[in-house]
């Protein structure tokens, strides 16, 4: 049986009695990273040899107990769009792994090669009530906080298209390996008449620099794998069938660095943005809700959906 996860307080307690607990306790206190623990219960995982799987089937998790590397496979056909259920599952999964002391790294990928993730499920923001949109947005914020603020080595194995929310997931990781070929990645929100929030814009700036990010965000650019590599939006390319193996090799290199120093260094650079979102969470929800439910934006979303269907 695999047992978990009780929220931030319990993690602190568990760590305080473990070896090196004092250091980690200080780390948690200083950086307040990891789960933003509104969730009280998590789905049960069962151990089976060296693998275990999450109980929800839209996110499949396997973990190699020896290396501490978990692979998280998005499994929401046809295109892994991020609906409410998917956001909740991803967050639960990231938090489970975060709180699993034997886990050191996670690789995020798609169960269905050729599409990593098509971004937010557009139907979740089309002709929905303002309250629904607000709740949906908060689920996205919480999922992002748990991934971007993770102590683990986080690696995106981008085995297909990765527009908008797919790019958001990739940018929240520490390193990105993308499939070569005709696949695209980018923050194309403006093409739908949507505005990327400050925390997403900032991660894009942090990864590819101000000028390129500003331009890419304004025009909602989607880049091919080659161009994304050239811009630094992804770190490495591999043939699609090798993306997972290359990601595993890369993670193993990262795991040669002691966890504690690596994680503290990561948090030192990410804490300002994490704190900023935590502080401005409600303001960010209201902004997204008000902008997205405007009639003119709803019409743009409808047109975008029609274009997608007609493809």
Q: Cα dihedral angle (156, 289, 204, 153), rounded to 10 degrees? A: -30
Q: Applying CB under 6 A, which of residues 58, 92, 188, 244 lies at the interface with ligand TC6? A: 188
- Asked if 87 touches ligand TC6 (CB under 6 A), the answer is no
Examine the residue annotation and report whether 194 is marked as an active-site residue of this protein: no
User: Which span sits near ligand TC6 by CB under 6 A: 17-25, 90-98, 161-169, 236-244?
Assistant: 161-169
- Asked if 220 touches ligand TC6 (CB under 6 A), the answer is no
Check: CB of residue 80 under 8 Å from CB of residue 89: no
DSSP symbols for 213-282: HHHHHHHT--EEHHHHHHHTSSSEEE-GGGHHHHHHHHHHHHTTS-HHHHHHHHHHHHHHHHHHHHHTHH
Rounded Cα distance between 240 and 157, Å, is 10
Examine the residue annotation and report whether 165 is marked as an active-site residue of this protein: yes
- Asked if 194 touches ligand TC6 (CB under 6 A), the answer is yes
Examine the residue annotation and report whether 83 is marked as an active-site residue of this protein: no
User: Which span sits near ligand TC6 by CB under 6 A: 3-11, 15-23, 77-85, 100-108?
Assistant: 77-85
Residue 278 CB, nearest approach to ligand TC6 (Å): 18
Residue 294 CB, nearest approach to ligand TC6 (Å): 14
Examine the residue annotation and report whether 9 is marked as an active-site residue of this protein: no
Between 122 and 157, CB nearer to ligand TC6: 122
Between 32 and 84, CB nearer to ligand TC6: 84
CB-CB neighbours of 31 under 10 Å: 19
Q: Cα dihedral angle (88, 147, 117, 155), rounded to 10 degrees? A: -140
CA 194 to chain centre: 19
- Asked if 308 touches ligand TC6 (CB under 6 A), the answer is yes
CB-CB neighbours of 245 under 10 Å: 13
Q: Applying CB under 6 A, which of residues 61, 134, 152, 192 lies at the interface with ligand TC6? A: 192
- Structure tokens, 200: 């997403």
Provide the binding-site residues for ligand TC6, judged by CB under 6 A. 78-79, 81, 115, 118-123, 161, 163-165, 168, 188-189, 192, 194, 196, 200, 308-309, 311
């Amino acid at each position: 049986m695999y047992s978990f996860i009780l929220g931030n307080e319990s993690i602190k307690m568990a760590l305080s009695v473990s070896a090196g607990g004092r250091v980690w306790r200080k780390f948690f206190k200083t950086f307040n990273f990891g789960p933003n623990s509104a969730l009280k219960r998590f789905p049960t995982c069962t151990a089976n040899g060296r693998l275990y799987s999450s109980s929800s089937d839209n996110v499949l998790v396997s973990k190699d107990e020896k290396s501490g590397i978990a692979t998280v496979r998005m499994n929401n056909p046809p295109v892994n769009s991020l609906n409410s259920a998917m956001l909740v599952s991803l967050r639960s999964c990231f938090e489970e792994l975060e709180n699993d002391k034997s886990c050191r790294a996670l690789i995020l990928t798609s169960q269905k090669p050729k599409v990593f993730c098509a971004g937010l499920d557009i139907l979740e923001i089309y002709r929905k009530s303002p309250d629904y949109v607000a709740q949906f947005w908060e689920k996205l914020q919480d999922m992002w906080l748990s991934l971007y603020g993770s102590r683990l080595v986080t690696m995106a194995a981008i085995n297909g298209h990765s527009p908008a929310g797919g790019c958001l997931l990739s940018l929240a990781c520490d390193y990105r390996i993308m499939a070569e070929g005709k696949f695209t990645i980018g923050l194309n929100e403006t093409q739908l008449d949507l505005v990327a929030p400050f925390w997403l814009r900032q991660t894009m700036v942090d990864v590819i620099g101000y000028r390129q990010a500003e331009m890419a965000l304004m025009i909602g650019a989607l880049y091919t794998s080659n161009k994304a590599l050239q811009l630094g939006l992804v770190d490495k390319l591999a043939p699609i069938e090798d993306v997972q193996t290359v990601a595993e090799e890369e993670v193993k290199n990262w795991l040669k660095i002691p966890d504690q120093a690596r994680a503290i260094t990561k948090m030192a650079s990410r804490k300002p943005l994490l704190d900023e979102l935590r502080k401005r969470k409600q303001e960010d929800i209201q902004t997204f809700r008000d902008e997205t439910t405007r009639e003119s934006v709803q019409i743009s979303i409808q047109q975008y959906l029609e274009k997608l269907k007609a493809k």
